[in-house]
Structure 1
Amino acid sequence: MAEDKKTFIDKISKALAKCEGLTLKDLLFSYRGTPYPVTACSVETFQALEDLEARRDDMVLVSYPKCGVNWLIQILSDLIFTTLQSKPVSTELPFIECGDPGKYQRMKQIPSPRILATHLNYDCLPKSIFKNKAKILVLFRNPKDTAVSFFHFHNNVPGVPSYSSWDEFFSEFMNGKVSWGSYFDHAVTWNKHIEDENTMIVIYEDLKENLTASVKQIAEFFGFSPTAEQIQSIADRATFQAVKDKAQETHGAIGSFLFRKGGVGDWKNLFTEAQNQEMDAKFKVCLEGTKLGAKLKYDVYCKV
């Protein structure tokens, strides 16, 4: 298992190394109208993505960047280990759209159950996920904290191209010109499928508020039956601080940047009044009155 972890961390390090010397302009390429980072994705990999053969027992984890999916991967890995006594193999980059086109052939060798993570919209997922009825867990975080976390990732990770200011990043974020495109397009797309069979939406802030209840809900969704003691013990190991403390061991040098603060409300330190009004208006147009909008509790987490 130690060799698997080393291979996984090496792949993350290689992806980061590709950032050296890149400008923001050089970092992104467009595929079907959405920007992606050249360091992790390629046209060839997207073209090969349809070759991914999903299994019925695959666990698909979806989120927009910086919404906490790496945290969710850790929780699910622990759930698998605790209930099945088997550790998920993680030699590939955790996101299905990241890496070289040959990864989909290699993924056939990974034993079930596999964790398939992605930042992609519903419409961009491989068709075999739906055909084979794999379960899809979609994680959302309030858009203001998501934007701030995304900004800090760009400006804190050594080698990753930085934005000249928060104002510059905010403008690009609102216009969907950051990696993986628009938060709101992503949210609108998934809201259309919020009641689909085999799909469940979880909210980052709910995880923070009651991790034990969230672990139980996630376990039930994927068909696991841990005891109350096992659920509590997974939750204890999965607090944000516990995951952050082990981040270097699990993710190498990037670990401390992937698991930075994990707080709720950090947006208040950066948003101007004008930016608050702009995002409030965008939320109103895109998500107010929707089921996902209600789940996000925007008035609780995003109003001053």
Structure 2
Amino acid sequence: MAVNSHKSPSVFLQVPTGVTNTGNASHIVKMSFSDVMTKIQMAEKTSDAEKMYTYKGVLYPRLMCPEENLKAVETMEAREDDIMLVAYPKCGFNWMVGVLNKIMAEAGVQKIETESKVAPLIEFFGPDKLKIVNEAPSPRFMGTHLHPDNIPASFYEKKTKMLVIFRNPKDTLVSYFHFSNNNPVLPSGQSFDSYFSQFMSGDVGWGSYFDHAVAWDKKMDDPNVMIVTYEALKQNLTEGVRQISTFFGFKLTEDQIQQVSGQSTFNAMKQSSADTHGNLGNIFFRKGVVGDWKNNFTPEQSREMDEVFNKRLAGTRLGAKLNYQQYCQ
């Protein structure tokens, strides 16, 4: 994969840490360009079979979150004022990073820069990086794809606020398929049929979508957890920005809310992705449409997904929030 050496391509980038800003701004230390290039070069020499490994029964990408990272994260110390963004892969995580960055900038918590704004996935940083994070001043903005039961216990003990974004499972599968086939650190060259089977069995990075969803459904009464859906945000981003700002305690004026939502549509993020993500922008921001699964699923695959959804999530509050009948049938 060609990478523009004049950009800082954010394969998986930021961890907030104390650097140059003053006041109560959140701070960010970035994975350097050379670090990114090293990972890509390693991926080119790594077979697809070696790119994934299992840790405590869940698959993870070896190059980005080796076992030492996952072990180190388990004892990470959270803070009450941490800002945590959580999502199963390809549910709108990078989009929400941009939205949260703009909200925090308007609230005076973070400065907007021209460099990448991809949030830190805590599982991508080993013991040395996590030591920097632990010493960083507040507030810290971080993120994760980890299953809720695998998020460090301190985040629940400290009652850290977590924004969780979910997307309908059919579009998530399609987006994850394309992402995997175009990301050098993940296995590629798979057929859609093959990937469909792996996704449905949970044999993909970070495990089963449905396991994540069922676990988060159990936390919907937690006042420190806010679950939003990709589809609802696409339909009314302004209301989403308003609710997210309130949840984190950011007091924005109506004009600020309108400004953030206007600048944060998926299309706006995609157009600016050359600045925020370098040549990898098209990998992170592909289509962003609702219903693309119809261009990929066979009728049999659609029925199989329907059966699993009905078995695992029908009748749950998160299942209702996903509005499966409208978006997946």
Question: TM-score scaled to structure 2, two decimals?
Answer: 0.86
Residue 294 (structure 1) aligned with residue 320 (structure 2)? yes
Residue 29 (structure 1) aligns with: 53
**Aligned pairs (5 A) from 1:256-267:** 256-267=282-293
Where does residue 199 of structure 1 map in the other structure? 225
* Corresponding residue for residue 87 of structure 2: 63
Q: CA deviation at 1:160?
A: 4.2
SS in 2 for 1:193: coil
User: Matched residues in 1 for 2:278 and 2:49: separation?
Assistant: 27
Length, aligned pairs only: 303
Distance 1:53 1:14 in 2: 29
Q: 1:200 to 1:71 in 2, by over 3 A?
A: same
Structure 1 partner of 2:13: none
RMSD: 2.3
Query: Contact 2:94/2:118 (CA < 8 Å) preserved in 1?
Result: no
Query: Which amino acid in 1 is paired with 2:151?
Result: L
Indicate the residue corresponding to 2:125 in structure 1: 99
Whether contact under 8 Å (2:49, 2:187) holds in the other structure is no
Counterpart CA distance in 2 for 1:63 and 1:42 is: 20
Candidates 72, 84, 87, aligned match of 2:96: 72
Aligned with 1:56: secondary structure? coil
2:144 to 118, 141, 152: 118
The residue that corresponds to 1:240 in the other structure is 266
Distance 1:113 1:181, change over 3 A: same
1:127 to 127, 150, 153: 153
Counterpart of 2:162? 136
Secondary structure of 2:274's aligned partner: helix
In 2: Cα distance, 1:293 partner to 1:125 partner: 22
Q: Match for residue 186 of structure 1?
A: 212
Matches within 5 A, 1:139-218: 139-157=165-183, 160-218=186-244
Greater shift in the superposed pair: 115-124 or 100-109:
100-109
**Whole-angstrom distance in 1 between the partners of 2:117 and 2:328:** 38
| Mapped partners of 1:190, 1:16: distance in 2 | 33
* Corresponding letter in the other structure for 1:40: M
Runs (5+) with no aligned partner, structure 2: 1-18, 21-26
Q: 2:276 aligns with which of 250, 254, 278?
A: 250
Query: Residue 189 of structure 1: CA displacement?
Result: 0.9
Return 175-184 or 14-23, whichever deviates more. 14-23
Displacement after TM superposition at 1:247 (Å): 1.4
Structure 1 residue 253: Cα displacement = 2.6
Superposition deviation, residue 61 in structure 1: 0.9
